[in-house]
């Protein structure tokens, strides 16, 4: 299935990296990682750092799946309000999920600094806008809930929001500990670093079509019939992991994004903060390092790639119209646009760890709008599971 369409900005900006080899023989490794997107790259990083021998395979050219379509906003907020999540999974688990998302942003910055790689990581403040009176009421409840558990949050009323950001909405939640990255660049740099320094091997255009469990190992068989023997497999190919699972664990959605032509510094809002809103469908907004504005949203239930792609022009107009309601004087002009498919779970949380029907496998399924922060959590957790260290794996278990 095509995961994206149009011209993703990150791919145009960075260009395709040097392609990787295609598997053409039987091999053995300690851990096989299926999927070379940001989740697979982070899993490889943590395992390599733990001294584990790894191989990464992908049915596509490495890193060119949904990673190229990500808008790469790093926020500790989950798509589900904390007060709602408490009702779904209990107070302890809900709060811990939010705390882990916050911690993951700092973890990602530490990885980039330690390896001295470039992922265009930039700290940003964040605004969660109340689109109407009901939205502000929800934000008030959310503010009290987050404040109770000492999560970073400030509630802005209508006047404060207008004075500081020149946005005319009922109010907003504000924090100063969000960030943004270039996901495609970070992904390729992580893989390249560990290829050079940790013995990581990456195979692209290598499609795993069958998995066979043995007593002490597991075998992945590729479309061309080659065998990869490993102690464990990590499944990190995004929603395409559905082919391995009998139960339906997520809903497919399509999201639409455009990137503006470069603007002057004075054309931006205060702090260049990340922006999203309580309205459904909503838009989300960020900037890029070369002074563009990236706006996405108006998500649609996924049906098939053709129907998804046919809506692009209509969705772009709707997104631009909603953006101009926020910033009526903006000189924004569309330069690139694309759409992509992503998965979403009922409670907004990922699925990480083992599955009772799949021995010798770990799953890293970071569905939803927090895909990158979930990927960091999944990668670190899977490393600990493999090395026999204690984890909070029950928090993101399939049977939660």
Which H or E element spans position 275? Answer: strand 274-277
Residues 265 and 174 in one domain: yes
pLDDT, tens digit (0-9, with 9 covering 90-100), for 363-392? 999 877 788 999 999 999 999 999 999 998
pLDDT, tens digit (0-9, with 9 covering 90-100), for 300-317? 887 678 888 888 899 999
Instruction: Give the model's pLDDT for residue 249.
Output: 78
Residues 160 and 24 in one domain: no
Greatest Cα-to-Cα distance within the chain, rounded to the nearest angstrom = 66
What SS3 class is residue 387?
coil
Q: Please write down the long-range contacts of 309-316, taking CB distance under 8 Å and 24 or more positions apart.
A: 309/5, 309/6, 309/339, 311/254, 311/256, 311/339, 312/5, 312/6, 312/256, 312/337, 312/338, 312/339, 315/256, 315/339, 316/256, 316/258
Residues 194 and 221 in one domain: yes
Residues 231 and 263 in one domain: no
Last residue of a domain, one of 344, 361, 380: 344
Residue 138 is assigned to a structural domain of this protein? yes
Residues 271 and 152 in one domain: yes
Residue whose pair of structure tokens reads 């999974």 in the numeric block: 89
pLDDT more than 70, % of the chain: 93
Residue 198 is assigned to a structural domain of this protein? yes
| Residue 329 DSSP class | T
Last residue of a domain, one of 325, 344, 363: 344
Q: How many CB atoms lie within 10 A of CB 379?
A: 30
Last residue of a domain, one of 344, 360, 375: 344
Contact (CB, 8 A) for 258 and 5: no
Q: In CATH, what number is assigned to the domain containing residue 152?
A: 3.30.9.10
177 phi, psi to nearest 5 deg: -130, 40
Chain centre distance of CA 275: 17
Residue 153 sits in which domain range? 124-178+251-344
Residue 111 is assigned to a structural domain of this protein? no
What mean pLDDT is reported for the chain? 91
pLDDT, tens digit (0-9, with 9 covering 90-100), for 176-192? 999 999 999 999 999 99
Interval 54-72 mean pLDDT: 80
29 pLDDT more than 60: yes
Residues 278 and 174 in one domain: yes
Q: In CATH, what number is assigned to the domain containing residue 366?
A: 3.50.50.60
Residues 201 and 339 in one domain: no
The pairing of strands 274-277 and 283-287 is antiparallel
Residue 103 is assigned to a structural domain of this protein? no
Chain centre distance of CA 372: 3
Interval 163-174 mean pLDDT: 97
Counting every residue, how long is the chain?
Answer: 400
Residue whose pair of structure tokens reads 């992908």 in the numeric block: 58
Cα–Cα nearest to 362, from 388, 347, 381: 381
Residue 204 is assigned to a structural domain of this protein? yes
Contact (CB, 8 A) for 7 and 336: yes
Cα angle 251, 12, 122 (rounded to 5 degrees) comes to 75
Residues 54 and 161 in one domain: no
Residues 194 and 234 in one domain: yes
Lowest-pLDDT choice from 151-165, 220-234, 340-354: 340-354
Interval 326-342 mean pLDDT: 90
Residues 366 and 228 in one domain: yes
Which H or E element spans position 89? Answer: helix 82-89
What SS3 class is residue 342?
strand
Residue 84 is assigned to a structural domain of this protein? no
CA atoms within 13 A on the CB side of 187: 29
Residues 311 and 232 in one domain: no
Q: Indicate the pLDDT class of residue 215, thresholds 50, 70 and 90.
A: confident
Three-class SS of the chain = CCCEEECCHHHHHHCCCCCCECCCCCEECCEEEECCCHHHHHHHHHHHHCCCCEEEECCCCCCCCHHHHCCCEECCCCCCCHHHHHHHHCHHHHHHHHHHHHHHHHHHHHHHHHHCCCCCCEEEEEEEECCCHHHHHHHHHHHHHHHHCCCCCEEEEHHHHHHHHCCCCCEEEEEEEEEECCHHHHHHHHHHHHHHHCCCEEECCCCEEEEEECCCCEEEEECCCCEEEECEEEECCHHHHHHHCCCCCCEEEEEEEEEECCCCHHHCCHHHCEEEECCCCCEEEEECCCCCEEEEEEEEECCCHHHHHHCHHHHHHHHHHHHHHHCCCCCCCEEEEEEEEEEECCCCCCEEEEECCEEEEEEEECCCCCHHHHHHHHHHHHHHHHCCCCCCHHHHCCCC
Residue 87 is assigned to a structural domain of this protein? no
Instruction: Give the model's pLDDT for residue 4.
Output: 43
Cα–Cα nearest to 352, from 330, 373, 327: 373
Domains in the chain: how many in total?
2
pLDDT, tens digit (0-9, with 9 covering 90-100), for 274-295? 999 999 888 999 999 999 999 9
Question: Rounded to an integer, what distance in angstroms lies between the CA atom of residue 395 and that of residue 399?
Answer: 10
Residues 38 and 152 in one domain: no
Residue 89 is assigned to a structural domain of this protein? no
CA torsion, ordered 183, 348, 237, 244, to nearest 10 deg: 180
pTM: 0.91
């Amino acid at each position: 299935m095509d995961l994206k369409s149009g011209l993703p900005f990150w791919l145009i900006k960075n260009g395709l990296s040097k392609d990787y080899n295609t598997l053409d023989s039987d091999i053995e490794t300690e851990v096989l990682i299926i999927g070379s997107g940001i989740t697979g790259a982070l899993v490889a990083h943590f395992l390599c750092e733990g001294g584990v021998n790894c191989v990464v395979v992908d049915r596509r050219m490495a890193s060119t799946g949904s990673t190229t379509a990500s808008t790469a906003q790093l926020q500790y907020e989950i798509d589900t309000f904390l007060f709602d999540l408490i009702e779904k999974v209990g107070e302890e688990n809900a709060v811990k999920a939010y705390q882990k998302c916050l911690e993951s942003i700092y973890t990602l910055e530490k990885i980039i600094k330690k390896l001295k790689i470039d992922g265009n990581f930039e700290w940003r403040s964040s605004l969660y806008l109340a689109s109407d009176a009901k939205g502000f009421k929800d934000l008030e409840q959310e503010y009290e809930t987050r404040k109770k558990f000492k999560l970073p949050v400030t509630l802005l009323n209508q006047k404060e929001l207008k004075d500081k950001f020149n946005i005319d909405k009922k109010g907003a939640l504000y924090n100063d500990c969000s960030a943004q990255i270039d996901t495609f660049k970070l992904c390729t740099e992580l893989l390249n670093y560990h290829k050079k320094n940790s013995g990581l091997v990456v195979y692209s255009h290598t499609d795993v079509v069958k998995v066979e469990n043995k007593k002490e190992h597991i075998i992945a068989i590729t479309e061309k019939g080659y065998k990869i023997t490993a102690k464990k497999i990590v499944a990190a190919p995004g929603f395409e992991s559905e082919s391995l699972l009998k139960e339906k664990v997520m809903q497919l959605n399509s999201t639409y994004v455009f990137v503006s032509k470069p603007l002057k510094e004075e054309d931006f809002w205060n702090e260049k903060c990340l922006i999203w809103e309580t309205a459904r469908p909503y838009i989300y907004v960020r900037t890029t390092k070369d002074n563009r504005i990236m706006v996405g949203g108006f998500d649609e239930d996924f049906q098939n790639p053709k129907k998804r792609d046919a809506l692009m022009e209509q969705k772009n107009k709707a997104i631009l119209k909603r953006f101009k309601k926020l910033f009526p004087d903006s000189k924004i002009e569309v330069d690139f646009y694309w759409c992509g498919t992503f998965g979403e779970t009922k409670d907004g949380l990922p699925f990480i760890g083992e599955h009772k029907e799949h021995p010798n496998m770990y799953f890293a399924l970071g569905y939803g709008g927090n895909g990158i922060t979930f990927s960091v959590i999944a990668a670190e957790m899977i490393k600990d599971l493999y090395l026999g260290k204690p984890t909070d794996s029950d928090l993101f278990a399939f049977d939660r």
